[in-house]
Structure 1
Amino acid sequence: MTDEQRVSFDKSSGPPPPTPGYAYPPAYGFPPAYPPYGYPPYGSAAPPAPPHEKPSSNIGWAIAAIFTFWPLAIPSFIYANKVDTFWFAGNRAGAEQASRDARTWGLIGVIIGAVLFVLVIIWFVIIFAVIADTAHNLPDPSSYPSAYPS
């Protein structure tokens, strides 16, 4: 609808037909209002859906990092929470970057935790092997001199 058509609205002919793409026709007796900033003008099609789906928040990596190496779970949670904030603000690139950062921090935390777990297991195996070897090479206690003379 052009501005001239809005201005020359005739009240006697009834309300105008509903504009395509909008649920409710304008109120009777009033010309349609201008759309809010950022919305398409009356008569145009509805705005297209975003071409991509919302990226994953990768919060699973943050949760896994809590159990393996918690210091890196903190930035992973922060970036995972930023994904929704950026997406709903219309910042698709920021949401995708936050998703990648959350996955990266979480994955690094899981890898570091897994490596530390393996190193701790190896350390305990070495300690127990040394203890077992030392216990095996101890002299027989019956060969010690008695503290009480007989």
Structure 2
Amino acid sequence: MYHDVDRDSYRRAMADTLKTLQERSGLSYNETVKRAGLGQGALGKFIVADMVPSMESFVRLCAAFDVNVFATLLQVYETCLAAQGKLVPTDYDQVPGRHELAAVLAFAGAPVSAMSFAHWCCNKAFGCRCAPQCTCSCGGCHLTAQEQERVYEVYRLSPRSCG
């Protein structure tokens, strides 16, 4: 049902997406770096050298550009597919939580820590409500409603309507 994305396509798509977002933001290179709280050479590494940013750096850049984290990851995923001559699956728009799923798929070729973070955001903090004896290592499933609201705010998400 879903297409895999290779690591090279993913890196190139991430670089292209970040470059486009930086241009659209109207921010200079220095303003972007300052607003995102990154080191001076960080943005250049991500855009020019095709280095994949950590999830933390990616989230900071999305915040600097004032864009939704998961919608941006969806854009990266779609760009990867286009580079491989593939289209987004026809039933993709009907998938509950498709943006979150795209995040996990897009990060499949990224470091495990980034994928773990995406998995935690998608499946634990925003849905899991298991008992106190829960064995989830992330601990996100026990966020209070106020904590969940804060996470939605930080990551520029809309509350999920699906369960």
Task: Tell me the TM-score normalised to structure 2 length.
Answer: 0.20
Higher relative contact order at CA 8 Å, sep ≥6: structure 1 or structure 2?
Answer: 2
Task: Tell me the TM-score normalised to structure 1 length.
Answer: 0.21
More helix by share: 2
